[in-house]
Amino acid sequence: MEKNYKKNIRRLKYTFIGVFFCALFCVSLVNAESIQRSGFRAERLDSYLRKIELAYQVSFVYDATQINKAMSIEAPLKLVSINSDLEPLRSKGISYNIVGKQVILKKAIKAVAAKDITVKGRVRSTKDSQPIPGVSIREKGVANGTSTGVDGEYQITVKEGATLVYSAIGYKTVEMVVNGRTAIDVSIEDDVSQLKEVTISTGYQVLNKKLFTGAATTLKGSDVKQDGIVDVSRMLEGRAAGVSVSNVSGTFGSAPKIRIRGATSITGENKPLWVVDGVILEDIVNISNEQLSTGDASTLIGSSVAGINSDDIESFQILKDASATAQYGARAMNGVIVITTKKGRVGKPVISYTGNFSTYLKPSYDNFNIMNSNDQMSVYSELERKGWFNHATTSRASDGGVFTKMYQLINTYDQTSGNFGLANTPAARSTYLQRYAQTNTDWFDILFKNSLLQEHSVSISSGTDKSQLYISTSYLNDNGWAQGNSVERYTANVNATFQLSNSVTASILTTGAIRDQKAPGTVGRVSNPVEGRYSRDFDINPFSYALNTSRTMTAFNEDGSRESFTRNFAPFNILNELDNNTLDLSLLDFKLQGGLGIKITKDLKYDLLGSLRYVKSGQEHKVRENANMAMAYRANGDSYIQENNRFLYRNPDDPEAQPVVVLPYGGFYNTTDDFLKTYMVRNSLEYNKTFNEDHIVNVYGTQEMRIANRQVRNMIGYGFQYDKGGIPFVDPNIVKQAVESNLNYYGMQNKYDRFAAFMMRGAYSYKGKYSFNATGRYDGSNKLGRSNTARWLPTWNVSGAWNVDTENFMQNQNVVSRLTLRGTYGLTASLGSASNSSLVLRNGSALRPYLSEVESVMNIISLENSDLTWEKQYETNIGLDVGFLSDRLTLTVDAYKRNGFDLISPIRTSGIGGQYIKDANYADMKSKGLEVTIGGDIMKSKDWSWKTNFNFGYNENKVTNLKGVPTIFDLVGSDGAAREGFPYRGLYSLVLTGLNAQTGIPEFINQEGETSNDVYLQSDKTEFLKYEGPIDPKLTGGFYNTVRFKAFTFSALFTFSAGNKIRLNPIFANSYSDLDATPNEFKNRWSLPGDELVTNIPSIVDRASSNDLSGTYPYNNYNYSTARVADGGFIRLKQVSLSYSLTPTMLKRIGVNNASLSVVGNNFWLIYSDKKLYGQDPEFFSSGGVALPIPRQYTLSLKIGI
């Protein structure tokens, strides 16, 4: 059937060609012999033909059934030449052909007016007969076209005799003559050679891959999309070699820690640059990778990509080496991620709907190593025996659990009944404690729920040759996994492209996102160098609360009402707190972008790109009057509390007076607003020409300017009365207290970012065999401060590629279908954290106690550093791309070496200049790495297909020059520290020698190399510390498989990471309170001499001996010892999904183009992690605030296309 079909087409084609040439020939003849005619008369055809036969000695051949010899024609009176004399036949519809002495006459085919017909059909692949979506179908020579839907079907209205051209990337182009048919099914063949024509988008240019010589990974949006994962940055996890994504917090809006090829700066942000549709995506607040784990409220707006609807993404390009990122010059040191969003397609409107319905699973104590209430109570009993819970101090504790409550009850005397809250008898106490010992509170159950997240996204794509339009909108609603958390997000995206004339194209892109989010109220985390800890007041993060709160405590009284314990001398119940202390976040992100392209000549193109983005975000921290934070300001029960409650106000003007309450009514209404306004304009010229088919040349020059203005403002609202109609009641003393403490109750700060750049890139390729590329860029920024020398920086790179497969010697084999060798060397840079190329001054108020003494003071924040410059690195990259067996198996290998220099690091100076610690460009860091990606279409048939992708990146870095001398404390913290000769962030430990045989107190090798329980953490003698390993994984990667059987597709993504160390949570202390939740390790603690031989879990020290420890902190040191380190490596089944696509017949029945249903499990299974973590997520450090771990999540996803 198909063969016949082809024959027919061929025949038809020849006929057409014949007629075409004939017409051409005739016309030219007429032109050649234009002569004057004297006259005509009517004559019978046969007699006229006979006359000519005689005159020119020719004979006529014709089919008498076609030509009526009796017809009358207008014959010339006088014969001139055979051609002109035969001309009159034409007006009668007779054509002639002179062959030698014979003239063949034919009835000419009448040119009839062509009729419009509608052609329908389906395009399939020749290889597996599968329908191919997205095939472009054009009517040849006319501006008319469409494309196939998801099921490969198309419909187009064309002229009856038109020729249709079927084309798709990766397939050979096919032409079909319609010839009046209304149904044309076509099969198209794979085109391996065309695969190499794939383009690479650098965000500036779309380059022919032959001309692209850098290391880059392209990911199709539809391939990496993880249904149910709303933040697009998390979709990259395990997908591209060399890109490591650590989920330090799973809360919506907080970005994961992303590194491309590891760290490049010691003090900088180390974040890749995000580029969306050619424009750098600025963050509203700059949050470095390190700050991500703080859990501060600002991390929620730290990720601008959180406003992108993942359904709008066409592709990701991850640019890794110096050549790939060259066009970003001095901002590209950390790699670039280019997102291209979807554009409208030529064809009738296609409407797509995606709906995701996810549920999060509650965490459970199985994954955490926390004592149950019975074991916990026995620990408390030991603490009580050892004198920790004595009546006097425990009853007055500012924070307390069951024991504090017990003593408070004993102290409470009810005058009416004449009874105490609890009788002070051993029996009564024991009964009281019994209840809490048996309660075994499941805080995870109380504070978490199996929530529902729903995401709806609708898009319409439509277009003609002249204009294409893509419109999408989405809605996301997460009603909250942890109590007090919820999110709503709306996005909209309009992307229009217009072909204004043959040489002018214009595009307009508008995107908008609105977010409303709720989180538990939080105040910023502050590092406390005195105790060597981070602390956060009033932390009510549900996750860290569940993790750190004793299971002996209860959320509800026996009568079901909420039970309170003491915190900050005020009653505290976590559920009450989550209701009364909230953070409301709103965000509006709007982007307007326009582009204009002009073809000046065939080879020269001018482009203009302009963009405006406006982001407004507001945080409202609402502390209602019943919140613990508000009540703490009012706790002044007795003189002891008055003296010790730090939230009361001691008036310096009245030194004898007791501290007083300054928040008599209401709570707090604290607001923080962030604004970002950015503008960008880019002019570029691109010259693209192929000379003699062998020399492909591309020259690109651009000039760019960027402005980003950021503003943050905050306000502390005192005494807001939420339940009294929202009226503030301000005690002037609370403002006086703030002013006297040099705390401003409101503030505003601006940041101005100005950027200018000029760039030139030249690419040349000889026959597509050898490519050469050179880029130079000149960047200017105001970020270093006002200085004419520091602000400019040139960067450059050269690269080349050899397409070995195009060589002759590769033509006689069919194993290797593609083989490219690449090499790059160049300089990249990035702006460091310092901005003091000129003197930095800032005003403040003098730090003096009395208002009469306070004046405005100008402080030198930083002295001028005239040598300040950008952080830079030289990078060498060698790459290899191989395709085997028609690219069914592909392999990409990249090896790189980076030499970072001029890195900014704080350096301790003599102080004589006036600034003891200065930021200077002096540190050096070397890193090297290897990236491997193996991809394969293992099976490909009509019913079965199996695709696989395995990738990993290995990165190792070493600081080679660092003058700063870290102290022991700097090195042993969980965030690690830089040290010369070691990785950029290394983790170090005090060496635990064992437990003291008499006391069970841990002993270490101290700074002098002696065994002791006393280590001076401020010492800079660090040679006795043990280096454990880097805190960033050396190896990260992913393994992705997708198997299709008929309409079912099953896929699984494994991710893995290895080579880093984690500091376990600091849980040991000289003393414990009845709030502490202790881990199960405590069961094996030292309790009797001899235990030190079998355990290294230290004893609980008794109160008397703890006085002997005064000034030494062996338990704190234990937290920083070799005993408290775990391996950070893990293997995780990140995602599994099973989807079912409806068959074409079913689709027809319900009237849609395509429909599929998937079930997805995200964060499915932690297959391997260090036993010491007891199943806890090695990526998540409990950091409080707004941070939450990534939960296990199940999603039902529905996709429909109409």
Partner 1 sequence: MKKIIYLSILTALSLVSCKKFLDQQPDDRTELNSAVKVAEVLASAYPHGNYIPFTEAMSDNADDKNTTSRDNKNSLPWQYKDQEVNGDEIDTPPFYWNECYRAISAANAALETIANASNPQEYSASKGEALVARAYAHFMLVTLFSKSYNPATASSDPGIPYVTKLEKSVDSKYERGTIAFVYEQIEKDLIEGIPLIQDNTYKVPKYHFTTVAAHAFAARFYLFKRDYQKVIDHSELTFPGSSIVNSLREWNTTYTNSTYYVLQAQYTNSIEPANLLLAEANTVWGRSYAGYNYGLNTNLLFSVMGSANPLGYALVMQSNIYGSGPEVYNIPKFVEHFVKESISANFGDPYNMIPLLTAEEVLFNRAEAFARLGNNAAALININAYLSKRIEAYSPVSDVLTQEMVTDYYEGQSVTDAVISTILNFKRGEYMHEGLRWFDVVRLKIPIVHKSFDNKVTITLGPDDPRRVIQIPKESITLGLAPNPR
- 950-989: contacts with partner 1 (CB under 8 A): 967
Give me the least distance between CB of 707 and partner 1, in Å please. 8
Please state the closest distance from residue 690 (CB atom) to partner 1, in A: 21
Strand partners, 539: none
* Contacts with partner 1, 217-246, as mask; x by CB under 8 A: ------------------------------
Q: Does 671 bind partner 1 (CB under 8 A)?
A: no
Which residues from 913-952 bind partner 1, rule CB under 8 A? 913-918, 920, 922
Q: Which of 420, 606, 946, 1027 binds partner 1 (CB under 8 A)?
A: 606
Which of 899, 932, 959, 898 has its CA nearest to residue 1036? 932
Cβ distance 708 to 624 under 8 Å?
A: no
Candidates 79-87, 500-508, 518-526, 586-594 — which segment interacts with partner 1 by CB under 8 A?
518-526
- State in angstroms the smallest separation of the CB of 838 from partner 1: 9
Paired tokens of 1033: 């994984």
Question: Stretches 862-870, 972-980, 1029-1037, 1059-1067: which one binds partner 1 (CB under 8 A)?
Answer: 862-870
**363 touches partner 1 by CB under 8 A:** no
- Of 137, 143, 141, nearest in space to 466 by CA: 143
Closer of 141 and 844 to partner 1 (Cβ): 844
| Cross-strand bridge partners of residue 356 | 455, 1197
Of 73-81, 143-151, 322-330, 838-846, the segment contacting partner 1 by CB under 8 A is 838-846
Give, as ranges, the residues between 621 and 640 that touch partner 1 (CB under 8 A): 629
Distance separating alpha carbons of residues 665 and 2, to the nearest angstrom: 87
Task: Provide the minimum distance between the beta carbon of 733 and partner 1 in the complex, in angstroms, as a whole number.
Answer: 14
Q: Does 169 bind partner 1 (CB under 8 A)?
A: no
Q: Which of residues 59, 1018, 1080, 1143 is near partner 1 by CB under 8 A?
A: 1018
Closer to partner 1 at the Cβ: 754 or 940? 754
Spatial neighbors of 790 by CB under 8 A, at least 6 apart, are 784, 837, 866, 868, 869
Amino acid sitting at position 993:
T
Residue 816 Cβ, how far from partner 1 at the closest point, in Å? 44
Q: Please, what is the minimum distance in Å from the beta carbon of residue 629 to partner 1?
A: 7
User: Would you say 423 or 863 has its CB closer to partner 1?
Assistant: 863
# binding residues, partner 1 (CB under 8 A): 88
Q: Do 572 and 579 meet the contact criterion of CB atoms below 8 Å apart?
A: no
Residues in CB range of 915: below 8 A, 6 or more apart: 860, 862, 863, 909
97 versus 1071: smaller Cβ distance to partner 1: 1071
Task: Evaluate whether 1163 touches 1132 at the Cβ level (below 8 Å).
Answer: yes
Q: Are strands 59-61 and 102-107 parallel, antiparallel or unpaired?
A: parallel
Using the minimum distance from each CB to partner 1, give the nearer residue, 220 or 908: 908
Closest CB 950 distance from partner 1, rounded Å: 44
- Rounded least distance, CB 612 to partner 1, Å: 17
Q: Could you say whether residue 741 binds partner 1 (CB under 8 A)?
A: yes
Binding mask 783-822 for partner 1 (x = CB under 8 A): xxxx-x--x-------------------------------
Contact 268, 316 (CB under 8 A): no
Residues 6+ apart with CB under 8 A from 857: 843, 844, 845, 846
Q: How far is the CB of 786 from partner 1 (least distance, A)?
A: 6
Tokens of 146: 């469409």
Interface positions, 840-859, toward partner 1 (CB under 8 A):
840-843, 846-850, 852-859
* Residue closer to partner 1, measured from CB, 286 or 586: 286
Name residues contacting partner 1, limited to 683-712 (CB under 8 A).
Answer: 683, 685, 703, 705
Measured from the CB of residue 179, what is the shortest distance to partner 1 in angstroms? Answer: 46
Least distance from C-beta 216 to partner 1, angstroms?
Answer: 29
Of the listed pieces 556-564, 689-697, 734-742, 1068-1076, which binds partner 1 according to CB under 8 A? 734-742
1154, 1200 contact by CB (below 8 A): yes
Long-range contacts of 741-746 (CB under 8 A, 24+ apart): 742/844, 742/845, 742/847, 745/715, 745/716, 745/718, 746/713, 746/714, 746/715, 746/716
Note whether 500 binds partner 1 by CB under 8 A.
Answer: no
Q: Residue type at 984?
A: Y
Q: Counting contacts by CB under 8 A, is residue 743 touching partner 1?
A: yes
Question: Which 405-444 positions form the footprint of partner 1 (CB under 8 A)?
Answer: none
- Find the binding residues for partner 1 in span 707-726 (CB under 8 A): 716
Chain centroid, CA 639 distance in Å: 54
878 with 822: CB under 8 angstroms? yes
Q: Answer for the pair 845, 856: CB distance below 8 angstroms, yes or no.
A: yes
Q: Any contact of residue 68 with partner 1 (CB under 8 A)?
A: no
Among the listed residues 449, 460, 258, 237, the one whose alpha carbon sits nearest the alpha carbon of residue 361:
449
Scanning 161-169, 742-750, 992-1000, 1026-1034 for contacts with partner 1 by CB under 8 A, the matching segment is 742-750
Please identify, using beta-carbon distances, which residue of 630 and 819 lies nearer to partner 1: 630
Stretch that binds partner 1, among 23-31, 319-327, 439-447, 911-919 (CB under 8 A): 911-919
The residue behind tokens 């002037």 is 732
Query: Is residue 267 a contact point for partner 1 (CB under 8 A)?
Result: no
Site for partner 1 in 1075-1114 (CB under 8 A): 1110-1111
626 to each of 183, 564, 570, 578, 799, how far by Cα in Å? 73, 12, 10, 11, 65
Q: For 653-659, which contacts have Cβ atoms below 8 Å and span 24 or more sequence positions?
A: 653/850
652 binds partner 1 (CB under 8 A): yes
Let me know: does 48 contact 215? Beta carbons within 8 Å: no
Q: How far is the CB of 749 from partner 1 (least distance, A)?
A: 6
Q: Is 503 in the site for partner 1 (CB under 8 A)?
A: no
1014 contacts partner 1 (rule: CB under 8 A):
no
Closest CA to 481 of 541, 564, 547: 541
Q: How far is CA 937 from CA 191, 235, 438, 934, in A?
A: 16, 22, 58, 10
Residue with tokens 């009176």: 77
- How much of the chain is helix, strand and coil, in % rounded to 5? 20, 45, 35
Binding mask 532-571 for partner 1 (x = CB under 8 A): ---x-xx---------------------------------
Among 327, 678, 781, 1022, binds partner 1 (CB under 8 A): 781
Query: Which stretches of 541-603 are assigned E, i.e. beta strand?
Result: 565-567, 570-572, 581-599
Distance, in Å, from the CA atom of 194 to the CA atom of 950, rounded to the nearest integer, reads: 25
Is 194 in a helix, a strand, or coil?
A: helix
